[in-house]
Amino acid sequence: MARLEIKESRRKGKGKKFRLHLDGVEIQEDSSYKLYTLLKVDNEKTKFRVSIRDNELSDLVCSLENGHLSDQIEELHPIEYCDGIFIKDELFSLKIEFQDDHERYLIMSTALNLSHWKKAWSPQEFLDEIYDLADRLSGKAYIEEGSELYGFDFLFLFEDKNTTIDQELDKREKEIAGLWEIANKNLQAEIDANSIISHFSFPSAIRSSCEEYLISFIQFLKDVGVEATADLKHEGQAGQVLFSVTPAKGKEALGKIRQALDVYLELAGATSFEYESGASIQVDRLESRILFFQSQIKLAQAEAKAQLAEIQHQEKTIEAQEATILAQRVTMGHISTSNVFLQSRVKLLDEERADKDELEFFGGLVKFSNPEAFGFSVNLARLLALLKPIMIEEQPPLQSGELPALARASDE
């Protein structure tokens, strides 16, 4: 097996110079292109930092066994990986290095990409989780803090002199990828345990409008006395949306928030509002949010009808792309503000939702009478006044039998 080492060479008119040798033969360089660079790292000129700059030479070097790298090579930077490799969307730089214990390590370094960070947990929380999982790495391996912000280095000992650089790298890539998955799952599990999660699949024409309405649920909660945060993620399948809400006080309020979300989604279909004098800004804000959402849905429906009519008017064969557009327009034609969230919810909390003539929430304190079939009028001021003491764990002011009408079927 070839051995990589550094020897002193003498060239005519150039004096002595240290050069890289493979299996005793000097690696020849073209005068216009450097295949590698050597940098002395000690005064005795016995230790060097080697940076490979040629892909073919890099492939050859990385195929060498650990035991065939000369002890003169303090650091080795293979060009094939100098620009880094991607593991779970994070860029890792690589080097092989001797440590103080005179053992050779593969060092894989990264810094979390904050510009594209869209996770529900902070970079520091992820970093802490990775450190906690370090004992899952096989062999002699550990993690050190990196030089960059939210950076860290994985250090893996070459335990077998017969292992090639490529073999060690392939093994450690898989380990880091597995560690990434475990860390994300652990952090997601912590959120799931303290959050309510709903899945939706919206038609593309109204997706942004529906997502805006969902995010505004946090303001609705705040208006009834509950502080919470929301996260909205797009999942793998086209149009799939994951919406999660996490209360500031922990999972004690989850049951109430889940019902409050159902009430909020039903309000999107209100056909009219009952007014009370001196309504608060919270009432006006909620009504404005609902009306704005409804106007967006109606506009999307009008555009869908116009585009469908245009396609039908063209009197030509509808190709695959046009057929997809047509199918979407037909879907839009069956969606209204009273059923948009019902039809878009991937998994209903109540599987028999569509068969009920009356919807009840909070033990019957809030009721909607067959809202999808007939539409309904709602008194938002009374609704918010009722929900606030319930959500902040005070006793409700009235029992269900004494309640004034909050929502009733609209006259047809």
Residue-wise pLDDT tens digits, 246-255: 888 767 678 8
Domain shared by 204 and 317, yes or no: yes
Q: Average pLDDT of 209-214?
A: 93
Domain shared by 298 and 373, yes or no: yes
The C-alpha atoms of residue 30 and residue 80 are separated, in whole angstroms, by 20
β-sheet bridge partners, residue 19: 7
Domain shared by 178 and 259, yes or no: no
Picking from 9-18, 30-39, 168-177, which range would have the lowest pLDDT averaged per residue?
9-18
Instruction: Specify the pLDDT at position 327.
Output: 47
Q: Average pLDDT of 33-59?
A: 82
Confidence category of residue 223, pLDDT binned at 50, 70, 90: very high
Nearest to 375 by CA among 337, 331, 332: 337
Assess whether pLDDT exceeds 70 at residue 343: no
Nearest to 62 by CA among 142, 109, 2, 150: 2
**pTM (predicted TM-score):** 0.54
Assess whether pLDDT exceeds 60 at residue 237: no
Confidence category of residue 282, pLDDT binned at 50, 70, 90: very high
Domain shared by 342 and 391, yes or no: yes
Instruction: Specify the pLDDT at position 357.
Output: 56
Bigger pLDDT: 79 or 95?
A: 95
The C-alpha atoms of residue 106 and residue 109 are separated, in whole angstroms, by 10
Residue 318: what residue type?
I
The boundaries of the domain holding residue 356 are 196-409
Instruction: Specify the pLDDT at position 59.
Output: 86
Bigger pLDDT: 8 or 329?
A: 8
The alpha carbon of residue 289 and the mean position of all alpha carbons in its chain are separated, in whole angstroms, by: 27
Per-residue HEC secondary structure of 236-275 comes to CCCCEEEEEEEECCCHHHHHHHHHHHHHHHHHCCCCEECC
* 376-390: pLDDT as tens digits: 778 888 888 888 888
Q: Which of 142, 163, 191 is the C-terminal boundary of a domain?
A: 191
Phi, psi of 323 (to 5 degrees): -65, -40
CA Rg value for the chain:
32
Q: What is the largest CA-CA distance in the chain?
A: 106
Contact 84, 139 (CB under 8 A): no
The C-alpha atoms of residue 312 and residue 294 are separated, in whole angstroms, by 27
Domain shared by 328 and 312, yes or no: yes
The C-alpha atoms of residue 241 and residue 215 are separated, in whole angstroms, by 12
Instruction: Specify the pLDDT at position 145.
Output: 85
Domain shared by 386 and 265, yes or no: yes
Instruction: Specify the pLDDT at position 248.
Output: 85
Picking from 123-127, 153-157, 256-260, 277-281, which range would have the lowest pLDDT averaged per residue?
277-281
Instruction: Specify the pLDDT at position 217.
Output: 95
Token pair recorded at residue 241: 């949306």
- Per-chain mean pLDDT for the chain: 77
The C-alpha atoms of residue 334 and residue 85 are separated, in whole angstroms, by 48
Domain shared by 277 and 397, yes or no: yes
Bigger pLDDT: 226 or 376?
A: 226
Q: Which of 144, 159, 191 is the C-terminal boundary of a domain?
A: 191
The C-alpha atoms of residue 138 and residue 38 are separated, in whole angstroms, by 32
Phi, psi of 346 (to 5 degrees): -70, -40
Picking from 220-234, 327-341, 395-409, which range would have the lowest pLDDT averaged per residue?
395-409
Instruction: Specify the pLDDT at position 214.
Output: 94
Instruction: Specify the pLDDT at position 399.
Output: 42
Question: What percent of the chain has a predicted confidence (pLDDT) above 70?
Answer: 73
Contact 83, 184 (CB under 8 A): no
Assess whether pLDDT exceeds 60 at residue 104: yes
Contact 332, 304 (CB under 8 A): yes
Confidence category of residue 194, pLDDT binned at 50, 70, 90: confident
Confidence category of residue 80, pLDDT binned at 50, 70, 90: low
Picking from 79-83, 241-245, 348-352, which range would have the lowest pLDDT averaged per residue?
348-352
Assess whether pLDDT exceeds 80 at residue 313: no
Domain shared by 299 and 347, yes or no: yes
Q: Which of 191, 208, 234 is the C-terminal boundary of a domain?
A: 191
Q: How many CB atoms lie within 10 A of CB 275?
A: 11
Domain shared by 97 and 214, yes or no: no
Assess whether pLDDT exceeds 50 at residue 360: yes
Assess whether pLDDT exceeds 70 at residue 371: no
* 5-31: pLDDT as tens digits: 888 876 665 656 888 888 888 887 666
Q: Average pLDDT of 201-217?
A: 89
Domain shared by 45 and 97, yes or no: yes
Domain shared by 150 and 203, yes or no: no
Number of domains in the chain: 2
Domain shared by 184 and 126, yes or no: yes
Assess whether pLDDT exceeds 70 at residue 347: no
Picking from 14-23, 60-69, 126-135, 350-359, which range would have the lowest pLDDT averaged per residue?
350-359
Nearest to 338 by CA among 297, 371, 307: 371
Per-residue HEC secondary structure of 110-162 comes to EECCHHHCCCCCCHHHHHHHHHHCHHHCCCCEEEEECCCCCEEEEEEECCCCC
